[in-house]
Amino acid sequence: MTDHRVMIVDDHPVVREGYRRLIDLQPGLHIVAEAEDARTAYSRFRETAPDVVVMDVTLPGVSGIEAIRHIRQYDDTARIVVFTMHQGSAFALKSIQAGAAGFVTKSSDPENLIKAIFGVLAGRTVISPDVIDAIAQDRIAGIGTRLGDLSARQTEILRLLASGWPVEKIADSLSISLKTVRNNHYQIKSLLGLETDAQMVWFALEAGLVQGPAEEGS
């Protein structure tokens, strides 16, 4: 059996070691690269050309969603599985929109990650059942529908704005102009039917794009 080459992206070394032990034990899978942030993930992908990427969406700086979008711009055949603590629908919907083919939560049985990797390698889209339930609930509440009006790039800008990033830092991190950030800031509020930045932050909190102080400390 030919080994499929896997890259893992997570900012915690202990978590990456857990990935390595789990994945390298599976016949047909072999870790070829690791990365701790979105920028490094893109660079390592270009260097190693893995068959599948296992990526967390919560990374230092810009999120894994931006890394997914960037990798897929470089290689539109790239296969990416998101493996994250986020069970809400927001990250799942935007990860898939950005180009991921799998979304599995870290609270799932580890075997689900392996199944997702092989499923994505076989050309399928794989979403864990707990996330499918969350998507359904948010659709009923209308949150997922409103978020669906935003592009993956706009969702990332929304997340960074709601996290308190200045527009200059956002522009630099996403390699876009200040004008583009400001235009998207306006468009995001317009598309979501929001009038103030405070309402925008509350929407991001409600959608699970950012965490409140209590959640961050837990």
Ordered by start, the domain boundaries in the chain are 4-137, 149-217
52 CB neighbour count, 10 Å cutoff: 23
Domain at 149-217: CATH architecture: Orthogonal Bundle (1.10)
User: CATH classification of 4-137 is 3.40.50.2300, yes or no?
Assistant: yes
Question: Which of 107, 153, 152 shows the shortest CA–CA distance to 131?
Answer: 107
DSSP strand pairing (102-105 vs 52-55): unpaired
pLDDT for 87: 67
Amino acid occupying residue 27: P
pLDDT score at 149? 81
- Please state, in angstroms and rounded to a whole number, the distance separating the CA atoms of residues 25 and 59: 26
pLDDT score for 145: 56
pTM attached to this predicted model: 0.74
DSSP 123-170: T--EE-HHHHHHHHHHHHHTHHHHHTTS-HHHHHHHHHHHTT--HHHH
CA distances from 74 to 42, 49, 108, 174, 175 (A): 9, 11, 30, 15, 15
Q: How far apart are CA 96 and CA 101, in angstroms?
A: 6
pLDDT along the chain (218 residues), means of 10: 88 90 91 94 96 92 89 94 80 85 87 92 87 67 67 88 89 90 92 87 80 47
